[in-house]
Structure 1
Amino acid sequence: MNEAIIIQKPGYLFGRCISQTSRFYNPFTNKNLSELLWFSILSIGLLVNCEPSQMENVCDVNSQSFSKAVAAKSILGDTNSHCSVDGKSGGLGFTIGGKVSGLTGNGLRLILNKDTQLLLPAGTTEFSFPDRIPVGSGYEVNFATQAQGNFCELTNPIGKIFNRDIKEIEIHCFQSCINCKIFVTQNAYPANAGKAANFDSFCQSDPNYPGSGKFKAMLVDGESRRASFTPNSGEKQIDWVFKANQTYIRDDGTNIESSDNNGLFITGISTPITTISSDHWTGLNTDWTTNINGTCQKWNSNSASDSGIVGDAYTQDIITLTAGRGLQLCSVNHELVCVEQ
């Protein structure tokens, strides 16, 4: 067995005090390679004197303890987040929050990392989620539900935790529409927008845009936008486009229908959204749940090997509106149904 004496003085290696006579098995026949490995470890500060050292916060990214711990985890192949905690139990980590303006209605509910929800009452000007997020972890804030009488928008909702609480997220709220318009885009759009919410900008720039108002696209991916987690219930909605008990009309003022208590249409609509047949992306099943195999890889693919669910807006029944044209190739562009907020 090849051995190399590589400890020249007492010290700690990975938490163990090593004496001068300690030996390490050298799996290489080249002694210089073993010594090179030793000096590499020594150079990043993993070997320290056996004397007691000053205590530091190992989760303080400015401390030597933090740097040593991260380096040791890297060498040992530990890929877990440093200072990781269970957010719901509190403890180490940093909070996510920001400012709110213009919130006049109740019911605004935020969702953090597709899990933790936070309800903001009318008049709220600041917010902070109770969960603490580990250093090095990402965060994303979205709307679970909008406030009554308001349409709110997010600024800086996505980022990564480094060494402080996040306070830069902004929520700006405006008065929502009373009789809200729905239209079908003139143009057809590619499937690979990145996520469901990214299609909203197409609604604002399409030639059929009515000229005023904020619109969102009626399609889902189950993550950035969800209509219902279970059939026809509106459960666990995320940034859904229809409000509860809201009247919807065409651009010419023709009444379409009023949504139910969950922001859905279950039995049908009184008037078709459009006067001609359409084929628009939805990603929906006929019961408003997300079709996990019908979102073009969560709207990241325009490949002919992937498929997305397409509906037809020239109808009064929900089956046709949500999924009437079935699965279509993601390589072919399709229209959008756009809903005023």
Structure 2
Amino acid sequence: MNDNKLTNSRCYFVTKIQRTSGIENHSKPITKEPKFKKLFYHFHTFSDFTLGLIFVISLVTNCSPSELENTCDISSKSYEKTIAAKFILSDSNPLCLSANSFNQTDFTVGGKIFGLTGSGLTLILNHNNSITIPSGSTEFSFPIQIPKGAHYEVNFGSQAEGNFCELVNSTGTVSNKNIRDIEINCQPSCLKCIIFITQNGYPANIGKASNFDSSCHSDPNYPGSGTYKAMVVDGISRRASITANLGDGQMDWVFKPNQAYIRPGGINIETSNAKGLFTSALSAPITTISSDHWTGLNTDWTTNLDGVCLKWTTNSASELGTAGDAYTQDIVTLTAGKGLQNCSVNRELVCVEQ
């Protein structure tokens, strides 16, 4: 349809409304019986509104040929008409979109932070890119961008001093916008943190090491309060150390630096070192009876990649996982004292308060 036909259609539309609504004769006297005065009042009010609407439509259409102008150009008449039309329709969508909105292929990953009071919180994106979050921060964003369609996963590198933080919506797939719905919820951490051994054994095919954490809270030995994580690693979602006994490259590790740990009854176990590890004998065993718990660890706190039941995805008897014994003061026994065991057998967990 060319501009002249479009204009004629606009004007015909306006004229048609005027004729069918009686507005073109609005100024003529209308004689009605008194009993119809109330009805006339409502009709008169409606006519005024309709007349105003017709005026605005006429203003927008102008009943004259429109030039092909850019509606994003604020100096054009098309821009003015479009703004008026958006006002009438209560349209709050952006008038113009940047060309980058259609061409953008890489996006950022970030979100909100609640309750962070301590320093030292670090986040890791896709097991590789890390950032440190300052104390008191309320939001975060990784400086790198992720391609559209790519998977993203955010983990903790380390917890903040004096805080225990949890992630919400930490994994997903990038669509066509920046990721902004990840949440980090922080709360004060324990002062003297409890370590306990679960009563029940748990299967190895849990999906990843951090998924064992929920079993700590559902186990009969759960103390009844506090947040706990399982002392199990896989090198992907949880890691204690890359280099023997150094505590480097940690990821969502369960022990805090320089933290005192106790049994549920209050007996002191030991205080961790500055890297959140125990490298000398414990003051007391974690438990008073022998245990057989999953760890995935070597005796020096590094991950035994041949002993994590295919990163805790299988309970096949042909695969192996490292197990330890918590009835000891010896770190070697605690971390890997039971050696490599079949993944088909359920085993206990060492659960550490956060």
- In structure 2, distance between residues paired with 1:141 and 1:117: 9
1:247 aligned onto 2:260: yes
Given candidates 129, 132, 148, the residue that maps to 2:142 is: 129
Q: Aligned to 1:111, what secondary structure does the other structure show? A: strand
How far 1:58 moved relative to its partner?
Answer: 9.9
How far 1:59 moved relative to its partner?
Answer: 8.1
Tell me which residue corresponds to 2:287: 274
Structure 1 unmatched runs, 5+: 1-55, 67-82, 84-91
- In structure 2, distance between residues paired with 1:324 and 1:172: 36
- In structure 1, distance between residues paired with 2:320 and 2:129: 31
C-alpha distance after superposition, 1:160-187 (max 9, x if no partner): 1110000000000000000000000000
C-alpha distance after superposition, 1:102-155 (max 9, x if no partner): 000000000000011111111100100000001111100000000000000000
How far 1:267 moved relative to its partner?
Answer: 1.2
Given candidates 312, 337, 341, the residue that maps to 2:325 is: 312
Tell me which residue corresponds to 1:40: none
How far 1:263 moved relative to its partner?
Answer: 0.1
1:152 aligned onto 2:165: yes
TM-score (norm 2): 0.71
Q: Aligned to 2:146, what secondary structure does the other structure show? A: coil
CA RMSD between the two structures: 1.5
Tell me which residue corresponds to 2:16: none
How far 1:159 moved relative to its partner?
Answer: 0.5
- In structure 2, distance between residues paired with 1:104 and 1:162: 32
- In structure 1, distance between residues paired with 2:280 and 2:267: 19
Tell me which residue corresponds to 1:37: none
- In structure 1, distance between residues paired with 2:148 and 2:332: 45
TM-score (norm 1): 0.74
Percent identity over paired residues: 64
C-alpha distance after superposition, 1:40-79 (max 9, x if no partner): xxxxxxxxxxxxxxxx99986xx5xx7xxxxxxxxxxxxx
More helix by share: 2
- In structure 2, distance between residues paired with 1:318 and 1:202: 24
Given candidates 170, 182, 185, the residue that maps to 1:169 is: 182
- In structure 1, distance between residues paired with 2:345 and 2:155: 29
- In structure 2, distance between residues paired with 1:111 and 1:216: 18
State the one-letter code of the partner of 1:276: I
How far 1:265 moved relative to its partner?
Answer: 0.2
- In structure 2, distance between residues paired with 1:201 and 1:318: 25
* Runs of 4 or more consecutive aligned structure 1 residues displaced over 3 Å after TM superposition: 56-60
Tell me which residue corresponds to 1:238: 251
Given candidates 292, 298, 302, the residue that maps to 2:311 is: 298
State the one-letter code of the partner of 2:150: S
- In structure 2, distance between residues paired with 1:330 and 1:58: 54
Tell me which residue corresponds to 2:192: 179
Tell me which residue corresponds to 2:34: none
Tell me which residue corresponds to 1:340: 353
In the comparison of the two structures, how many residue pairs are matched? 258
- In structure 1, distance between residues paired with 2:320 and 2:209: 15
- In structure 1, distance between residues paired with 2:131 and 2:137: 12
- In structure 2, distance between residues paired with 1:306 and 1:193: 14
Larger radius of gyration: 2
Given candidates 219, 230, 233, the residue that maps to 1:220 is: 233
How far 1:287 moved relative to its partner?
Answer: 0.3
Tell me which residue corresponds to 2:108: 95
Cα gap change, 1:305/1:127 in structure 2, threshold over 3 Å: closer, same or farther? same
Given candidates 254, 273, 276, the residue that maps to 1:260 is: 273
State the one-letter code of the partner of 1:94: F
State the one-letter code of the partner of 1:209: Y
Q: Aligned to 2:107, what secondary structure does the other structure show? A: coil
- In structure 2, distance between residues paired with 1:272 and 1:57: 63
- In structure 2, distance between residues paired with 1:132 and 1:253: 47
Tell me which residue corresponds to 2:242: 229
Q: Aligned to 1:213, what secondary structure does the other structure show? A: coil
How far 1:99 moved relative to its partner?
Answer: 0.2
State the one-letter code of the partner of 2:270: E
- In structure 2, distance between residues paired with 1:106 and 1:191: 34
How far 1:268 moved relative to its partner?
Answer: 1.7
Q: Aligned to 1:105, what secondary structure does the other structure show? A: coil
- In structure 2, distance between residues paired with 1:252 and 1:267: 23
- In structure 2, distance between residues paired with 1:59 and 1:122: 34
